[in-house]
Structure 1
Amino acid sequence: MNMGRRWIMTLGLVFGLALMPLSALAEGETPATNATTLTVQTHTSSEAVTQLGVLKGDGQGVTDAYLGKTTTRLQAAILMLRLIGKEQEALDYMGTDTFADAADAGKASQPVLAYLKNNPTYGWGGTGTGNFEPNAAITAQQIYKVMLESLNYRSGTDFAFKDTIVFATEQGIYRAAGASPFTNRDLSTVLAETLQATPKGGMHALLHELVGKNIVTADNGKLLEGLRIDVRQTADGASYLTDGKGMALYLFTKDMADLSSCQGTCLTNWPVAYSDQLIVPDGLDAKDFGAFVRTDGGKQLTYQGWPLYYFNKDAKAGDVNGEGANDVWFLVKHPFYTIGLGTDAKIANYLVDSSGRSLYYFDKDPIGKSVCEGNCLANWPVFHADSIVVPKGLKTEDFGEITRSDGIKQTTFKGYPLYYVAQDTKRGDLKGQAVGDIWFAVNPSTFAGTTAGKDTPAPVVTEKAVVEMKENSFTPTVLTVKAETTIEFINRDDMKHNAVAVDGSFKTELLEKGQSATIKLDTPGTYEYFCEPHKSFMKGTIIVQ
């Protein structure tokens, strides 16, 4: 999760206990409900291929540092030999006819190069100049050619080299096709999908063949038998989770308090996703996945506490027909939502954090400011998100940030600060709703500001206004001016900032520390704007009267 929670003061034991379910959620466990949790064995691609012994790393093993290195031609060649059961034969090779630059490979690997030189059918004929270039970086196209040949497909016969990626995709191996530069982390992805693919003319996956040749043990061979989780992109570039066949995964906002709220016809339209074993890409945290037993006895996967579903009107990979359905069904985005929606029978949709904990507004807060301080904060801790990722139907520009008088940052909705309540101890709790008739859950469709915000409008500037760019925020966040007022933006930070209107009506240059730029708005209206380098969290509003 890309969430930044800041609790303003040290709370007592009771409040600490109240927050314990949140720490569990942060570790990817299913939240406490009446459901029985299940154990799901989850591995990343790099963990699986390492345990299989297919990816062996360097002298330190398969470390993060190793995974971050660029994959070389020699690595790719050795891996191909490993996958076809010829690695040891190559290491033991005694021939001396080899490539001119074989010494660059290191003494232990030199027999491999001689073996490849004398076995051209494996497709490693060198660079055409008598060299092999063992330490040169390999491209995604080249590594997929190697993997296809490991699956008994031949370049020039089964596919043309220029069509490698297209042909590989047809065989179900494509997940690192866009990687550049190509790293060992990408290599682990390619290895995992290649081991799950069926060789040309074969009846079983390549992994099963390796088990049959005793290259991989039968027990380890089970590591890649689970459901694959992938990340795919929508037409507008948003990333979301799918299964290994590319079918979209969804969450249901009515599952907020009862994980089994989808019943009967609902399940016909939205079948559950489940497997007791998962393979996830390295960009996802395996601990975010879990499972539970539904009240109907079925089993269902969860992601960050949210039950996962398919949509029966998604007919093929890439279909996302369920996105935003009835304002309660949403794709499981990656990165995951930092602000999401829950659904309650009385309140309808309301804002929650990524783990499903309810968010509230304080009716005494004016726009752009929090008046909840001291003891108030012990009961109503501030909510802060480092970045804004929201479901379809919510606008990222409606969310902003203020720097409180105590220096703590707080996320806002339409200019008004957002809070938790200490009494909410699990997802679905709404114990802060209507407390004192001044604290309320936030229904984004109906929220129009607080009573204090309406009673005390922001002062109107008539001649010149100054907006400071400091601590990665615009101050003031909301500015009200008369038409034709000169507005000066001044950067107080060490990093560069600018101001860009969402509707394109103005854009300043990137300002160094101490530099300023001025604009003048003639047309009344509300102008949302942001800093281009820090768009996800540095936003402001200018109201022109």
Structure 2
Amino acid sequence: MIKGSRRMLSIGLVLGLALMPLTAFAEGTQPTTTGTTATVQTTTSAGAITELGVLRGDGQGVTDAYLSKTTTRLQAAILQLRLIGKEQEAQSYTGMESFADSDKAGKANRPILAYLKSHPEYGWNGTVTGGFDPNAPITSQQLYKVMLESLRYHSGSDFAYKDTLQFAATQGLSRAAAVTPFTNRDLAVALTETLQAMPKEATHTLLHELVEQKAVSADKAMLLEGQRIDIQKAADGTTYLTDGKGMALYLFTKDMADLSTCQGACLTNWPVFYSDRLLLPDNLDDKEFGVSIRSDGAKQLTYEGWPLYYFLKDTKAGDINGEGANNVWFLIKQPFYTVGLGTDAKLGNYLVDSKGVTLYYFDKDPTGSSVCTGDCLVKWPAFYADSIVIPKGLKAEDFGEIKRSDGSEQTTFKGYPLYYFFQDAKRGDLKGQSLGDVWFVVNPTTFTGTTVGKAAPPVPAPTKVIIEMKDYSFTPTELTVKAGTTIEFINRDDMKHNAVAVDGSFKIDLLDKGQSATIKLDKLGTYEYYCEPHKNFMKGKIIVQ
């Protein structure tokens, strides 16, 4: 979830709402959901691997600072020895022949390099100059080669080095394959995959073997036995949640007030997703997951209050055949939708926020501005999302924002401001619908504007769209905008990113995490662009109409 996606518009408004029993607008608050228990047991890859004693960190332990550091070749070598039960033997090795630059590893680690030099079967052959280069950063390809060697697959016989990543993927090792530079946080992810994988010609996982060898305690091994949640990338560049086998997870827009709406044949086609324990990526918040008790007593996991499902016609990892089905089934995008869809039997589809709380338009608003102020704004708080992530079928260019008279911002749809209703205390509430015959839900298919807006001459609405730099990709990867639209790039990653047009029409500086930069494109055409440090895979396209 993107924090700060809904903000109060003024101090007066906040004070007014503080006296009301409305939870939907509080920062990070999950609306009340009937039939949902409080929590689900969760851990992260880094947390689990640390508890297991496989990842030990530096002098300060496994801290955020340590996880953000680039993984070195020496680290990878030590971890391989740890995984195959040879670390102590290597530390005690007394052989003298070693790599030419073994002094760079420090006195305590020199025996390890000498041990690797005398055991070429572990795959550490050194550099062409006879060195080991112990402090050099390791690439994902090199790291996954090490992990494969730990699983008793050998480069040159079981796979060619140039095909390392492809072969690793066939063994279930791929979650950090596209990462550059490779950090200790990514290392934790790769270690998790490796421990859960089967070594060559084995009948049990590597983790099971380590438990049998008493290198890992059985109690702590339970940390990796939960259902893994992964983030996969679709062909369009967007990312979505899957289980540990790469099977896509979906939400059902009819699950509004009743989380058990899907019954009978629906459940046959859309089986529920549940596990009593989850293993999460570090960039997912465990508070976003919950457990729903269905009407038949079965348990179902939820994300942001939405029950999670599989799709029967997804038969292999990477299938997303359920995306957009009947305009009511959608992938669990990551980052999650800041504007989504709910479905009502009478009203059809309508816009909601990430928690499923209803959004409205005011029929007295002209295009590009709001006439709801004072007491009106207390009862109808303005909705604002600092980025636009939407389901399939909606268009990013339909969303923009206006500046209110107090300087705050409000999200618009087709130029018209969006609001909450203060009596809608939870997902599925529609208490504002048709009030005063001027407040209505927003059906994105049929909405064409307000009565006032249609009667007045068209006024160009201030427009801004946001492209996020997250998980080493641009989101959305392809964007269509009108000429003159302001486009804001925001970096959500720890690594620096920028955006450079292939034709040289724009270039923004490298951005640190949280920084942003804007451009405006007035000339019609298609602009392909890339991130300079990650140009091989981090690309996007802007179409100006």
Q: TM-score, normalised by structure 2?
A: 0.83
Question: C-alpha separation between the residues in 1 aligned to 2:408 and 2:399?
Answer: 17
Partners of 2:400 and 2:464 within 8 A in 1: no
- Partner of 1:524 in structure 2? none
Question: C-alpha separation between the residues in 2 aligned to 1:528 and 1:366?
Answer: 30
Partners of 2:7 and 2:25 within 8 A in 1: no
**For residues 106-145 of structure 1, what are the structure 2 equivalents within 5 Å?**
106-145=106-145
Shift of 1:320: 1.2
Q: Per the alignment, in what secondary structure is the counterpart of residue 397 of structure 1?
A: helix
- Greater shift, 254-263 or 174-183, is seen at 174-183
Partners of 1:198 and 1:206 within 8 A in 2: yes
**For residues 340-355 of structure 1, what are the structure 2 equivalents within 5 Å?**
340-355=340-355
Question: C-alpha separation between the residues in 1 aligned to 2:441 and 2:335?
Answer: 25
1:217 partnered with 2:220 = no
- Partner of 1:378 in structure 2? 378
Summarize deviations over 1:85-124 as a string: whole Å, max 9, x none: 1112212223332222111111221221122122222222
- Greater shift, 428-437 or 72-81, is seen at 428-437
- Partner of 1:266 in structure 2? 266
Alpha carbons of 1:102 and 1:255: their partners in 2 closer, same or farther (altered >3 Å)?
same
**For residues 95-494 of structure 1, what are the structure 2 equivalents within 5 Å?**
95-458=95-458
Q: Per the alignment, in what secondary structure is the counterpart of residue 156 of structure 1?
A: coil
Question: C-alpha separation between the residues in 2 aligned to 1:108 and 1:236?
Answer: 48
Question: C-alpha separation between the residues in 1 aligned to 2:77 and 2:522?
Answer: 60
Shift of 1:269: 0.8
1:6 partnered with 2:17 = no
User: Which letter maps to 1:262?
Assistant: C
Partners of 1:22 and 1:355 within 8 A in 2: no
- Greater shift, 62-71 or 353-362, is seen at 62-71
User: Which letter maps to 1:220?
Assistant: K
Q: Per the alignment, in what secondary structure is the counterpart of residue 254 of structure 2?
A: helix
- Partner of 1:80 in structure 2? 80
Alpha carbons of 1:446 and 1:355: their partners in 2 closer, same or farther (altered >3 Å)?
same
Question: C-alpha separation between the residues in 1 aligned to 2:384 and 2:217?
Answer: 48
Question: C-alpha separation between the residues in 2 aligned to 1:412 and 1:517?
Answer: 19
User: Which letter maps to 1:19?
Assistant: L
Q: TM-score, normalised by structure 1?
A: 0.83
User: Which letter maps to 1:281?
Assistant: P
Question: C-alpha separation between the residues in 2 aligned to 1:328 and 1:113?
Answer: 57
Question: C-alpha separation between the residues in 1 aligned to 2:276 and 2:465?
Answer: 46
Question: C-alpha separation between the residues in 2 aligned to 1:470 and 1:38?
Answer: 38
Partners of 1:38 and 1:293 within 8 A in 2: no
Q: Per the alignment, in what secondary structure is the counterpart of residue 254 of structure 1?
A: coil
- Partner of 1:19 in structure 2? 22
Q: Per the alignment, in what secondary structure is the counterpart of residue 135 of structure 1?
A: coil
Shift of 1:455: 2.2
Q: What residue ranges of structure 1 are gaps of 5+ in the alignment?
A: 461-466, 473-486, 496-506, 521-526, 534-538
Q: Per the alignment, in what secondary structure is the counterpart of residue 20 of structure 1?
A: coil
- Partner of 1:464 in structure 2? none
User: Which letter maps to 1:8?
Assistant: L
Shift of 1:414: 0.4
Alpha carbons of 1:489 and 1:256: their partners in 2 closer, same or farther (altered >3 Å)?
closer
Partners of 1:176 and 1:189 within 8 A in 2: yes
Question: C-alpha separation between the residues in 1 aligned to 2:218 and 2:465?
Answer: 56
Shift of 1:519: 6.9
Partners of 2:384 and 2:411 within 8 A in 1: yes
Alpha carbons of 1:131 and 1:528: their partners in 2 closer, same or farther (altered >3 Å)?
closer
- Partner of 1:502 in structure 2? none
Shift of 1:410: 0.6
Alpha carbons of 1:21 and 1:509: their partners in 2 closer, same or farther (altered >3 Å)?
closer
Shift of 1:425: 0.9
Partners of 1:18 and 1:424 within 8 A in 2: no
Q: Per the alignment, in what secondary structure is the counterpart of residue 301 of structure 2?
A: strand
Alpha carbons of 1:273 and 1:91: their partners in 2 closer, same or farther (altered >3 Å)?
same
Q: Per the alignment, in what secondary structure is the counterpart of residue 260 of structure 1?
A: coil
Q: What residue ranges of structure 2 are gaps of 5+ in the alignment?
A: 467-481, 491-503, 510-518, 531-541
Partners of 1:241 and 1:333 within 8 A in 2: yes
Alpha carbons of 1:356 and 1:455: their partners in 2 closer, same or farther (altered >3 Å)?
same
- Partner of 2:478 in structure 1? none
Partners of 1:468 and 1:489 within 8 A in 2: no
Could you list the runs of 4 or more consecutive aligned residues of structure 1 that deviate by over 4 angstroms after TM superposition?
12-17, 21-24, 467-472, 487-491, 507-512, 516-520, 527-530
Shift of 1:237: 1.6
Summarize deviations over 1:422-462 as a string: whole Å, max 9, x none: 111111111111111111111111111111112222369xx
User: Which letter maps to 1:313?
Assistant: K
Among the aligned pairs, what percent are the same residue?
63
Summarize deviations over 1:331-381 as a string: whole Å, max 9, x none: 111111010000112211110000111101111110000011122111111
Q: Per the alignment, in what secondary structure is the counterpart of residue 255 of structure 1?
A: coil
Question: C-alpha separation between the residues in 1 aligned to 2:326 and 2:138?
Answer: 47
> If you compute each CA radius of gyration, which structure gives the higher value, 1 or 2?
1
Shift of 1:6: 1.9
The count of residues paired between Structure 1 and Structure 2 equals 492
Partners of 1:22 and 1:426 within 8 A in 2: no
Shift of 1:43: 1.5
Alpha carbons of 1:21 and 1:329: their partners in 2 closer, same or farther (altered >3 Å)?
same
Summarize deviations over 1:150-193 as a string: whole Å, max 9, x none: 11111112112122112111111111111122111111110000
Question: C-alpha separation between the residues in 1 aligned to 2:231 and 2:21?
Answer: 34
Partners of 1:72 and 1:136 within 8 A in 2: yes
